[in-house]
A and B are shown apart, each in its own frame.
Chain A
Amino acid sequence: MSTTANQKAGFGSTLWEYLTTVDHKKIAILYLIGGLFFFLLGGLQAMLIRIQLISPDNEFISAQFYNELMTMHGTTMIFLAAMPLLFALMNAVLPLQIGARDVAFPFVNALGFWLFFFGGIFLNVSWFAGGAPDVGWTAYAPLSIFSEGHGVDYYAIGLQISGFGTLMAGINFIVTVINMRAPGMSFMRMPLFTWTSFIASVLILFAFPALTVGLFLLTFDRLFGGNFFDPEMGGNVIIWEHLFWIFGHPEVYILILPAFGVFSEIIPTFSKKRLFGYSSMVFATVLIAFLGFMVWAHHMFTVGLGPIANSIFAVATMAIAVPTGIKIFNWLFTMWGGNIRLTSPMVFALAFIPTFTIGGITGVMLASAAADFQYHDSYFVVAHFHYVIVGGVVLGIFAGLIYWWPKMFGTMLNEKLNHWFFWLFFIGFNLTFFVQHFLGLMGMPRRYWKFLPDQGLDLFNLISTIGAFFMAAGTIVFLYNVIVTQLKGEKVSGDPWDARTLEWGIPSPPPFYNFKQEPLVRGLDPLWVEKRQGNGKIQPAEPLGDIHMPNNSFAPFMLSLGLFIAAFGVVYQGSMWVLAAIGFAITAGSMLYRSMKDDLGYHIHKEDLEKEGDGSNG
């Protein structure tokens, strides 16, 4: 059942295995494929946007299509690319890092993926069904209520479905971390990636329901004649903004915290030093998450909340800079006195520090409520959040992918191509977005289909578009690298980077049961501890015995498929209600099937494990 076995197996059985899998490592690969697919799609949309803005008064694409592209670019990148790619890393690594054989809810984990997948597909069906949503990823009412066609319906219901999946994934990781840690893996010995993923999951749990409600209200207004956002009927459009940003701001930290975690793994590994100020790093993570819930209205300074509310939210927002600063300095001092190897993951991490600092700096500038009256909804904001999301999250995702690629696939991405990818992407990124700070201050609002000639905006827009092509070229190099590496299929050892944490103590890729014997954790960075103080192998905490494993199930796929079908019925109504009936029946049936069956999983017997030879923890 390992990857090698799969390669020998036929295509059909491999496909079936992945459709029914509940193994977190395979779900990670599914998330990776789904996330990369949507990342490319979002990237393509970004390229069309930049080509439209290459020169003033350009007529390359129509205004309507531009708005659809811009909306789908944002929605896709946040919900369907960045989050799934982070989930790919979490699924691949988090259980291994805490010495668990599986996640707490393998079935729910699979369900989370399929919900995300079908939600994403549903959203994108809109392209072929009369037009994608065209109201920005924030979908402010009442524009989103007045928007014609079904684009916004697809937005509301597609995000609803994939949002359920995200919520489930969040709960799964929370419980996994609390209940599934190996002996000796206390909270304060957990690797930072596990910590940040854990906190991000808590944020998901408390932030996503606000979006769920917002999307429900939007759906009810659009499809069932509700009046939440209809001013004529006493509705209030500001409610949407509040709900959206109560979700939306924590969402930023849901994205960036795991990226922080990735860098907190990579920097110590390639500096050969333990993380500087581990406990203050943990503390800063928790503090950022906590403050992240109290600052949503800084997205709404210009809405007219009044100077008192604006001032409170401004100061609260500035406060977040303190724990973020702590993190930056801790990373710097982790490297201080270290023995730094400039491998490609480390180069990504090194690039992240200045870019993210710039993103943080502009963040503080934006927090200044009065000044935000100029920055708000201008290209300054566009530049800011791309510095945070691309310069932080995307660099983190790629650093993590390259770093853990051997653990996920047992192969090593070509280092030379990784560096090519990095330089093209990094230079392109800075070209694209640095000048956008100035475009905003020079008077260019965001979401502009056209900018006019003779307003001093031509040069920087041109530079920005050129940068986008560099980023695209870099991404192509990465894809090429992935294909070539996987075709070659050269296997590497369990610990190719000379790393420090538990996941590197088992073979690459790990056997499907992860740990033959539950590992005993004897300190922070357990593998490093064993390398320095023991024989370099993780010690077992239990004698060899039977291992309990969950059964595969097709129910998650069917359950999500049912919602996917039902969604069409809800959008089109009329005679299409039949679809809703069929879809909900499939979903309910799958749930009943799951509930009614006694599904106890199976055991791998001790004797079979012994036969597999020395696959021990190390």
Chain B
Amino acid sequence: MKGWMSRIKAVFALSVLALILSGCGEPFLSALQPRGEGAAMIMELMILSTVIMLFVFLVVMIIYVFVVFKFRQKKGQEDHIPKQTEGSHALETLWTVIPIILLLILAVPTVQYTFALADMNPEVNEEGEENEQIWIDVTGKQYWWHFEYEGLDITTSQEIYIPTDRRVYLSMISDDVIHSFWVPSVQGKMDVNPTGNQNEMFIQAEEEGLYWGKCAELCGPSHSLMDFKVVAVSPGEFEQWVEDMQGVTGEEVPESDTAQDGQELFSDNCLACHAVGSSPNKVGPNLTSFADRDKLAGVFDFTEENLYEWIDTKGENMKPGNMMVDAPYDLEEEEIYQIIEYLMTLSPSEITPESAENGVYQDSDLSNLFPEEEEEDDEEQEDENDEVEDEEEE
């Protein structure tokens, strides 16, 4: 009997351990493995509240277990009438005051962090100067995300490139229903409301990486497929990416003939909704760096078959309820392949999601991005910036 019990216990302990280990999730998605300033702050708060609350739970459980075992009816005592206590002022005061104190301990950092996370003022760098802010206009649409870099003349969809170690500010609005922008491992979420209720937040990644973003507010049938990525690259790489992206006009002629045919078909059938290069057109996702995307439509493996199916069926079954099903085009199989060939040439930059994962660190203070500021900077500093420093990520 005893051996059996201990075996059960061992199995139990092992499975609990396994659960705990798997209980932290994947670093690119889990709020329990913070990789950014916001997520780290929130993690502190979560730990604090968990500790306080576990203490309360323990106290309750100790009393509970004691009471249930100690005062359970014993044989022969069925008729025992216990003393009918009315209450106790001392005890009742005790369990009113102690929780109040515990809650105050939690309330203070809560208020502090609530304000800290809503702080949209520029960061102050080591020299005590205010950093230039990178603002990105985020638009949520059923079921994809659109990003316009303010003042940088860059438009992307589905993937948002940010430099590490620096806050990037988001100004968010929805074109249709309410969405919610959530990158668990980098920052908490914020709702993306339609007209009139624009929201602002910052995201900051402390490590390079490809982080998954999710839509967290029910927005229709494909709510669960409205994923996006945050590509956090080192500042130097980001600067390069910006330069590369700024160069794209959408009129670059691809090398191969098929791709050229594809480009023509693309302008006839797709361009009305999908822009290549910076453009205010956001009827459909911007495709400037399409070939570099980590996933197709945010969630599907980036394969030719998937891409073919998407164009052929307009994603009808892949993302139920998506708006592309209303697109009027009608393409032959061959034409679709030509378009695919063209789309696969849309790779303007060497900085891709892979750059975020390989961990080559290139430093920069990003001053090149803000021309006015650049004039004031002296030559030396600029040279330093151009130097490429390879650093291993931890």
Q: Which residues of A does B touch, CB under 8 Å?
A: 62-64, 66-67, 134-136, 140, 142-143, 146, 231-232, 236-238, 271-274, 276-280, 302-304, 306-307, 310-311, 314-315, 318-319, 321-322, 325-326, 328-330, 332-333, 335-342, 350, 353-354, 357-358, 361-362, 364-365, 367-374, 376-378, 435, 438, 441-443, 445-452, 454-457, 459-460, 532
CB distance from B135 to the nearest CB of A (A): 16
8 contacts between A and B (CB under 8 A): A143-B178, A329-B91, A358-B57, A362-B53, A364-B103, A369-B114, A447-B218, A456-B22
Question: Is the beta-carbon distance between A280 and B92 smaller than 8 angstroms?
Answer: yes
Tell me whether A339 and B191 are in contact in the complex, defined as CB-CB below 8 angstroms, given that A304-B199, A361-B53 are known contacts: no
On chain A, the residues within 8 Å of B106 by CB distance are 318, 364, 368
Question: Is the beta-carbon distance between A274 and B193 smaller than 8 angstroms?
Answer: no
Question: Is the beta-carbon distance between B224 and A449 smaller than 8 angstroms?
Answer: yes
CB distance from B366 to the nearest CB of A (A): 26
CB of B68 within 8 Å of the partner chain: yes
**Per-residue CB proximity of B76-111 to A under 8 Å, as 1/0?**
010011111111100110011001100100110011
A451–B227 CA distance with the chains assembled, in angstroms:
11
Closest to B227 in A: A452
Question: Is the beta-carbon distance between B41 and A361 smaller than 8 angstroms?
Answer: no
Known: A64-B321, A329-B92, A368-B110. 10 other contacts (CB 8 A): A231-B196, A314-B111, A325-B99, A326-B96, A338-B71, A368-B49, A372-B188, A438-B23, A443-B26, A459-B22
CB distance from B92 to the nearest CB of A (A): 5
Contact of B189 among A142, A273, A377 (CB under 8 A): A377
A209–B87 CA distance with the chains assembled, in angstroms:
38
A221–B238 CA distance with the chains assembled, in angstroms:
46
On chain B, the residues within 8 Å of A279 by CB distance are 87
Contact of A370 among B42, B99, B214 (CB under 8 A): B42
A212–B351 CA distance with the chains assembled, in angstroms:
54
Question: Is the beta-carbon distance between B191 and A340 smaller than 8 angstroms?
Answer: no
Question: Is the beta-carbon distance between A370 and B188 smaller than 8 angstroms?
Answer: yes
Contact of A310 among B87, B114, B214, B221 (CB under 8 A): B114
On chain A, the residues within 8 Å of B95 by CB distance are 325-326, 329
A206–B103 CA distance with the chains assembled, in angstroms:
28
Closest to B79 in A: A339
Contact of A277 among B77, B87, B196 (CB under 8 A): B87
On chain B, the residues within 8 Å of A321 by CB distance are 99, 103
Contact of B64 among A311, A354, A364, A446 (CB under 8 A): A354
Tell me whether A318 and B96 are in contact in the complex, defined as CB-CB below 8 angstroms, given that A368-B45, A371-B46 are known contacts: no
Main secondary structure of the interface of B (DSSP, over half): mixed
Tell me whether A441 and B114 are in contact in the complex, defined as CB-CB below 8 angstroms, given that A339-B71, A373-B189 are known contacts: no
A276–B95 CA distance with the chains assembled, in angstroms:
13
Question: Is the beta-carbon distance between A328 and B60 smaller than 8 angstroms?
Answer: yes
CB of B5 within 8 Å of the partner chain: no
Closest A-B pairs by Cβ, 4 of them: A373-B188, A442-B25, A370-B113, A443-B29
On chain A, the residues within 8 Å of B212 by CB distance are 443, 455
Tell me whether A143 and B219 are in contact in the complex, defined as CB-CB below 8 angstroms, given that A63-B321, A442-B30 are known contacts: yes
Question: Is the beta-carbon distance between A238 and B53 smaller than 8 angstroms?
Answer: no
A457–B39 CA distance with the chains assembled, in angstroms:
19
Tell me whether A307 and B115 are in contact in the complex, defined as CB-CB below 8 angstroms, given that A63-B320, A442-B25, A443-B214 are known contacts: yes
CB of B368 within 8 Å of the partner chain: no
CB of B1 within 8 Å of the partner chain: no
Question: Is the beta-carbon distance between B110 and A140 smaller than 8 angstroms?
Answer: no
Tell me whether A274 and B194 are in contact in the complex, defined as CB-CB below 8 angstroms, given that A67-B218, A364-B53 are known contacts: no
CB distance from B374 to the nearest CB of A (A): 34
Contact of A448 among B113, B116, B223 (CB under 8 A): B223
Q: Which residues of B does A touch, CB under 8 Å?
A: 19, 22-26, 29-32, 38-39, 41-42, 45-46, 49-50, 53-54, 56-57, 60-61, 63-64, 67-68, 71-73, 77, 80-88, 91-92, 95-96, 99-100, 103, 106-107, 110-111, 113-118, 176-178, 180, 182, 184-185, 187-191, 193-200, 212, 214-225, 227, 299, 320-321
A232–B117 CA distance with the chains assembled, in angstroms:
31
Closest to A377 in B: B216
On chain A, the residues within 8 Å of B49 by CB distance are 364-365, 368, 371
Question: Is the beta-carbon distance between A302 and B72 smaller than 8 angstroms?
Answer: no
Question: Is the beta-carbon distance between A302 and B321 smaller than 8 angstroms?
Answer: no
Closest to B111 in A: A311
A378–B42 CA distance with the chains assembled, in angstroms:
15
Tell me whether A307 and B180 are in contact in the complex, defined as CB-CB below 8 angstroms, given that A140-B217, A354-B61 are known contacts: no
On chain A, the residues within 8 Å of B320 by CB distance are 62-64
Closest to B185 in A: A443
Question: Is the beta-carbon distance between B189 and A311 smaller than 8 angstroms?
Answer: no
On chain B, the residues within 8 Å of A322 by CB distance are 96, 99-100, 103
On chain B, the residues within 8 Å of A310 by CB distance are 114, 118
CB distance from A611 to the nearest CB of B (A): 37
Question: Is the beta-carbon distance between B26 and A455 smaller than 8 angstroms?
Answer: yes
A565–B57 CA distance with the chains assembled, in angstroms:
51
Question: Is the beta-carbon distance between A326 and B92 smaller than 8 angstroms?
Answer: yes
On chain A, the residues within 8 Å of B299 by CB distance are 452
A442–B33 CA distance with the chains assembled, in angstroms:
9
Closest to B95 in A: A329
CB distance from B375 to the nearest CB of A (A): 36
Tell me whether A146 and B80 are in contact in the complex, defined as CB-CB below 8 angstroms, given that A332-B63, A364-B103 are known contacts: no
Contact of A353 among B60, B71, B177, B217 (CB under 8 A): B60
A369–B199 CA distance with the chains assembled, in angstroms:
16
CB distance from A615 to the nearest CB of B (A): 28
Tell me whether A271 and B53 are in contact in the complex, defined as CB-CB below 8 angstroms, given that A280-B92, A371-B46 are known contacts: no
On chain B, the residues within 8 Å of A374 by CB distance are 31, 39, 42, 46, 184, 188-189
Question: Is the beta-carbon distance between A276 and B53 smaller than 8 angstroms?
Answer: no
Tell me whether A280 and B87 are in contact in the complex, defined as CB-CB below 8 angstroms, given that A307-B115, A364-B106, A456-B29 are known contacts: yes
Question: Is the beta-carbon distance between A332 and B217 smaller than 8 angstroms?
Answer: no
Question: Is the beta-carbon distance between A146 and B73 smaller than 8 angstroms?
Answer: no
Tell me whether A274 and B85 are in contact in the complex, defined as CB-CB below 8 angstroms, given that A63-B221, A63-B321 are known contacts: yes
Contact of B71 among A143, A315, A335, A451 (CB under 8 A): A335
CB distance from A442 to the nearest CB of B (A): 3
CB distance from B81 to the nearest CB of A (A): 6
CB distance from B219 to the nearest CB of A (A): 6
